[in-house]
Amino acid sequence: MGVQFPMSCYTDLTMRFNTLILLSLTCVCLALAQTTYDDCCLKYVKMLGRSTQRHAVAYRLQVPDGGCNIPAVIFTMKRGREFCANPKDKWVTVLRKKIDRGPRGHKKLMKHDQPYRG
């Protein structure tokens, strides 16, 4: 016959196992919670210089919900750098409109291909 353990030993092992599982789940939940925070703007730039504004290619809006505390317009530059701006500032509205219009194309003067008839 095999060795028999007292019932209290099984209860002790079950309690330790349950505690270990609960601790593991807690660690996983905390790790996941830390990685789900948004990348939020915490303050605004006062102004972007004209040369910097010319490099703005896109923007997105940040709304104050969840982890983000302030409303913001996040401008993305050609090389990926981002700037946070106050959506109430006039220059922000102007720059957003420029981006929405898209790049201005230069009209090329086309020469007529038809021969001169004189």
Interstrand relation of 56-62 and 82-85 (parallel, antiparallel or unpaired): unpaired
Give the chain's radius of gyration (CA, Å).
31
**Range 40-59 average pLDDT:** 94
Q: How far apart are the first and last CA of the chain?
A: 121
**Residue-wise burial string across 11-29, b where 16 or more C-beta atoms lie within 10 A, e elsewhere:** eeeeeeeeeeeeeeeeeee
Read off the pLDDT of residues 79-106 as tens digits, 9 standing for 90 and up: 999 999 999 999 999 999 999 998 765 4
- Please give the Cα distance from 8 to 117 (Å, whole number): 112
Q: Is the pTM for the entire model greater than 0.75?
A: no
- Please give the Cα distance from 97 to 75 (Å, whole number): 12
- Please give the Cα distance from 84 to 47 (Å, whole number): 10
Q: Is the pLDDT of residue 46 over 90?
A: yes
Structure token digits, residue 41: 């703007």
